[in-house]
Amino acid sequence: MEKRDLSIMVVEDNEGDFVILKDHLFEIFPKASVDRKISLLQAKQSFIEETYDIVLLDLTLPDSVGVNSITELLKVAPTVPIIVFTGYEDKELAVNSLKLGVQDYLVKDEVIPAILLKSISYAIERKIILNQVKSAKENYKSLFDKNPIPLFLYDPVTLQILVVNQACTELYLYSADQLLQMTVEDLMTSGEKSRISTIRDAITVSKSGSVPLGEWRQFKSDGTEIEVDITTHDFMLGLRTCRLAVLKNVTEINTARLNLQRSEKRFRSLVQSGADLIGILDKDGNYLYKSPTITTVLGYTTEFLIGRNTFDLIHEEEIAQVLADFDKLKTQSQVSFKPFRVLDSWGNWRWIESIVTNLLDEPSVMGIVTNSRDLTEKKKQEDEKTLLIKELTQNNTDLKQFSFITSHNLRAPITNLLSILELFSYAGIKEEKAQFFFDMFKKSTLQLDETINDLVKILVIKSNANIGLEEISLTSIFSKITGMLSAMISDVKAEINVDFNEAPQLVSNATYLESIFMNLLTNAIKYRDTERELVINTYTQKGDGCTMLYFQDNGLGIDLVRNKDKIFGLHQRFHEVGEGNGIGLYLIQSQIKALNGTISVDSKVGSGTTFIITFNN
Amino acid sequence: MLNKVLCVDDDPVTLMICDIMLEKANFCQRVEQAAGGTSALKYLKNQIEQTDGQLPDAILLDINMPVMNGWEFLEEYVEKYQAHMPDCKIIILTSSVNPEDKELAEKHPDVTDFMPKPITLDGLEALKTIPALRKYFARYIA
């Protein structure tokens, strides 16, 4: 200590006292520098530029008396050790001084070099330690305050919050002042209140001194709920026993974990209870995993299948194709395999369709995922369907052929009859009765011819998918038909009103349209009401993407209540009068269908019938 | 009018009617009958081989016939006999309602015309006016 060049400040206004003190100081610290200040102001100002190892302070100064000098001086030099000098023995003042932070006090008259040396040495050492303690304290405080982990201290009995750090205020969104007004219980949701006693009961049992309290649901100041994991530690706040709570917000972790659990559960239920067969293979096609559905469908147990090569179970006729598809997985992440047969545990071949995904590089899978479906039933049904269609197509072709031959064989003799009738009329019939029979015979032959012709027309429509379409003028077609039927029309004095102005043209088939008009007109004439003159109105209307053709008469009408479903049926007749063969409306409907149109009817017995034909454009 | 017409049909009634109708219409001098494709070919062969054989100016041909139908007859006719009788007209006369038959007939290079049955006097009159036959009927020459 003697060797050091101590820098000593002496604050003493009394010249005599200073000289004595200075002599003592040089005696014990010959190399020391002693700087005298005669007022508190002088002393305080010196600290602006200088540093001192110790201050010897007289408490009776011209500008300050008593402990005030100590406080004032510590304000500017908190770390410097101070020894107080008093002129008298004032115990109370001495104790107060020590409380304020001076290191020692000496009574002037009692000062001798030995005491001074001891006091100064102790004071300097003590201050150093105090400063270290203070700095450590501050470090700890800063460690607490600036810690990113939310921390608070609380009273173990009342659970009152005593100290909080910054992170804690950020967690709860309360200010520090607000939190210091609260207890731990105030932060809890109502559901947690019942087990709050576990926090009170927490006592240190573990060696580390920490007690995990588990996860708690708590409220933030904005009312949102959070889950906080709390660990408490014994803690001394000065002399006070309290507990430190270390907090961890696990809300997001828990939510993420929950979502993960749900997602995994969902995935499992999808894989295990779905209808699809899910397997995971290694790069060579050996089973790493199989879903329970594989056991259900193919009968193989997990023990049998795991490690087994999938290609061993595939039918030899498809194995090359399956291997080729499998090979594609080297360049494609997903491949739809063409259907192949797999041997089941009962020895049957089952048709399987697979979508295979290469997830070898996916760390959570590290395999080739096969998603397969049992097609056996479907395939069987399809095969049956194909066979049925083939049979039906053959039957249909046969029937068509049969119909053509039949109609030809029927037509051949009829054409002969027609020719003979012609020859007969040239030959001339002398006898009246023979003429009568001849007329009847001719009428029946013509009727037979008409029926056969209509049937043949239907056959032609049904067998001919492609019909020629052209732009057709409705007026010209209609005139052609009225021309052909002019005798009939004038016979019954029919009034025919035609207005095709709204849609004069139609892309259609002329032969079909002629047949349609022919049938509608002859029907209207055949089934006219003889009580009144026949009036026929026909007109067109443009619809949305279609053209409507109306054909209206004031004839006998059809009882739609009784006949609605069969009106366009084959061999249906609705009147006792007339000589219909029951084919006309069926023929019209077939022709309209072939022209991509529809026909509907509105009729009332006694007032007439309206046919509405809709041609889609 | 034409000199000779060969009618080929498996139905004897039709052959008879044809005979009468052709005569009544003053269509030709003579009518020969064949009951099918093979008979018709045989008849043609005979006529060619005979020194005084006379080949027909026209053949009225039915389509639907047993053993050899009209198309099959036509195939062999074109191959073997047409060269001997290049001016002979082939007229399909059929009650067939198969639209394919009519289509085939219209497209066939060796078919002169297609006549649906029944054969009528009006039909024959119309036939006389087609360009290929017009020259045989004096009143159309002018």
Give the Å distances, CA to CA, from A23 to A19, A111, A122: 6, 12, 20
Q: Which residue bears the tokens 């920490």?
A: A210
Q: Which residue bears the tokens 């020194």?
A: B51
- Taking Cα atoms as reference points, which of A569, A566, A583 lies closest to residue A456? A583
pLDDT at A170: 93
In order, the DSSP letters of chain B are -EEEEEEE-S-HHHHHHHHHHHHHTT-EEEEEEESSHHHHHHHHHHHHHSTT----SEEEE-S--SSS-HHHHHHHHHHHTGGG-TTPEEEEEE----HHHHHHHHH-TT--EEEESSP-HHHHHHHHTSHHHHTTSHHHH-
Which chain A positions have a beta carbon within 8 Å of B97's beta carbon? 404, 407-408, 411, 456, 459-460
Total number of domains in chain B: 1
Which chain A positions have a beta carbon within 8 Å of B98's beta carbon? 404, 408
- Please, are residues B2 and B29 in contact by the beta-carbon 8 Å criterion? yes
Among the listed ranges A80-89, A237-246, A565-574, which one has the minimum average pLDDT value?
A565-574
* Long-range CB contacts for residues A16-24, cutoff 8 Å, separation at least 24: A17/A58, A17/A85, A17/A108, A20/A111, A21/A56, A21/A85, A21/A111, A24/A111, A24/A112, A24/A113, A24/A116
CB within 8 Å: A459 and B64: no
Encoding tokens for residue A198? 């576990």
Would you kindly state where each structural domain of chain A is located, as residue ranges? Answer: 7-140, 146-254, 274-374, 381-460, 465-616
- Please, are residues A372 and A338 in contact by the beta-carbon 8 Å criterion? no
Structural domain containing residue B13: 2-141
pLDDT at A579: 62
Mean pLDDT over residues A274-283, rounded?
87
Give the Å distances, CA to CA, from A493 to A206, A364, A446, A533, B1: 121, 91, 25, 7, 46
User: What is d(CA A299, CA A308) in angstroms, rounded to the nearest whole number?
Assistant: 14
User: What is d(CA A25, CA A8) in angstroms, rounded to the nearest whole number?
Assistant: 9
CB within 8 Å: B117 and A460: no
ipTM above 0.85, yes or no: no
Encoding tokens for residue A23? 């002599």
CB within 8 Å: A412 and B11: yes
Instruction: Please give the mean pLDDT across all residues of chain A.
Output: 87
Query: Looking at domain A274-374, which of 2.40.50.100, 3.30.43.10, 2.40.37.10, 3.30.450.20 is its CATH number?
Result: 3.30.450.20
Residue A80 three-state SS: coil
pLDDT at A234: 84
Q: Is the pLDDT of residue A207 over 70?
A: no
* CA A305 from centre of chain: 35
* CA B53 from centre of chain: 18
CB within 8 Å: B97 and A411: yes
Shortest distance between the Cα of A519 and any Cα of chain B, in A, equals 20
Q: What angle do CA A358, A363, A366 make, to 5 degrees?
A: 40
Encoding tokens for residue B99? 């639209």
Q: Which of B95, B99, B118 sits opposite A460 (nearest CB)?
A: B99
Q: Is the pLDDT of residue B19 over 70?
A: yes
pLDDT at A206: 58
Q: Does B14 reach chain A within 8 Å, measured CB to CB?
A: yes
pLDDT at A341: 93
Shortest distance between the Cα of A430 and any Cα of chain B, in A, equals 20
pLDDT at A2: 45
Encoding tokens for residue B30? 């003579």
Q: A51-63: b or e for each residue (b if 16 or more CB lie within 10 Å)?
A: ebbbbbbbbbbee
| Spatial CB neighbours of A37, under 8 Å, sequence gap ≥ 6 | A9, A10, A11, A12, A43, A46
- Please, are residues A231 and A211 in contact by the beta-carbon 8 Å criterion? yes
Q: Is the pLDDT of residue B64 over 90?
A: no
Q: Is the pLDDT of residue A265 over 90?
A: no
User: What is d(CA A100, CA B87) in angstroms, rounded to the nearest whole number?
Assistant: 150
User: What is d(CA A392, CA A15) in angstroms, rounded to the nearest whole number?
Assistant: 139
pLDDT at A204: 62
Report which DSSP code applies to A286: B
Whats the size of chain B, residue-wise?
Answer: 142
Q: Which of A416, A419, A456 sits opposite B97 (nearest CB)?
A: A456
- Please, are residues A119 and A83 in contact by the beta-carbon 8 Å criterion? yes
- Give the model confidence (pLDDT) of A546-600 as tens digits: 999 999 999 998 888 887 777 887 767 777 666 666 788 888 898 898 888 999 9
Instruction: Please give the mean pLDDT across all residues of chain B.
Output: 89
- With a pLDDT cut of 70, the percent of chain A lying above it is 96
pLDDT at A49: 84
Residue A321 amino acid letter: Q
Domain A7-140: assigned CATH number:
3.40.50.2300
Q: What angle do CA A532, A533, A536 make, to 5 degrees?
A: 120
Shortest distance between the Cα of B126 and any Cα of chain A, in A, equals 16
User: What is d(CA A343, CA A319) in angstroms, rounded to the nearest whole number?
Assistant: 12
- Taking Cα atoms as reference points, which of A21, A16, A3 lies closest to residue A84? A21
Encoding tokens for residue A254? 């828990």
Which of A75-79, A107-111, A534-538 has maximum average pLDDT? A534-538
* CA A170 from centre of chain: 33
Q: A225-263: b or e for each residue (b if 16 or more CB lie within 10 Å)?
A: ebbbbbbbbebeeeeeebbbbbbebbbeeeeeeeeeeee
pLDDT at A179: 93
- Give the model confidence (pLDDT) of B73-98 as tens digits: 999 999 999 999 999 999 999 887 66
User: What is d(CA A420, CA B14) in angstroms, rounded to the nearest whole number?
Assistant: 10
* Long-range CB contacts for residues A489-495, cutoff 8 Å, separation at least 24: A489/A521, A489/A525, A492/A525, A492/A528, A492/A534, A493/A533, A493/A534, A494/A524, A494/A525, A494/A528, A494/A533, A494/A534, A494/A535, A494/A536, A495/A533, A495/A534, A495/A535, A495/A536
Q: What angle do CA B39, B45, B48 make, to 5 degrees?
A: 145
Same CATH fold assignment for domains A7-140 and A146-254:
no
* CA A525 from centre of chain: 68
Q: Does B21 reach chain A within 8 Å, measured CB to CB?
A: yes
Q: Assign domain A465-616 to its CATH architecture.
A: 2-Layer Sandwich (3.30)
User: What is d(CA A613, CA B121) in angstroms, rounded to the nearest whole number?
Assistant: 39
pLDDT at B77: 94
Among the listed ranges A112-126, A206-220, A370-384, B62-76, which one has the minimum average pLDDT value?
A206-220
User: What is d(CA A608, CA A550) in angstroms, rounded to the nearest whole number?
Assistant: 13
Confidence of residue A3 (pLDDT cuts 50, 70, 90): very low
- Please, are residues A357 and A281 in contact by the beta-carbon 8 Å criterion? no
pLDDT at A1: 45
**What is the phi/psi pair of residue A185, to 5°?**
-60, -35
CB within 8 Å: A419 and B96: no
pLDDT at A208: 67
Q: Which of B64, B99, B117 sits opposite A464 (nearest CB)?
A: B99
pLDDT at A281: 92
CB within 8 Å: A426 and B24: yes
Give the B window 47-106 contacts with A, CB below 8 Å: 64, 95-99
CATH superfamily, domain A146-254, is PAS domain (3.30.450.20)
Q: Does B41 reach chain A within 8 Å, measured CB to CB?
A: no
Among the listed ranges A82-96, A211-225, A364-378, which one has the minimum average pLDDT value?
A82-96
pLDDT at A205: 60
Q: Is the pLDDT of residue B141 over 70?
A: no
- Taking Cα atoms as reference points, which of A410, A455, A414, A409 lies closest to residue B65? A409
pLDDT at B142: 46
Which CATH number do you get for residue B82? 3.40.50.2300
Shortest distance between the Cα of B73 and any Cα of chain A, in A, equals 19
pLDDT at A269: 79
Residue A284 three-state SS: coil
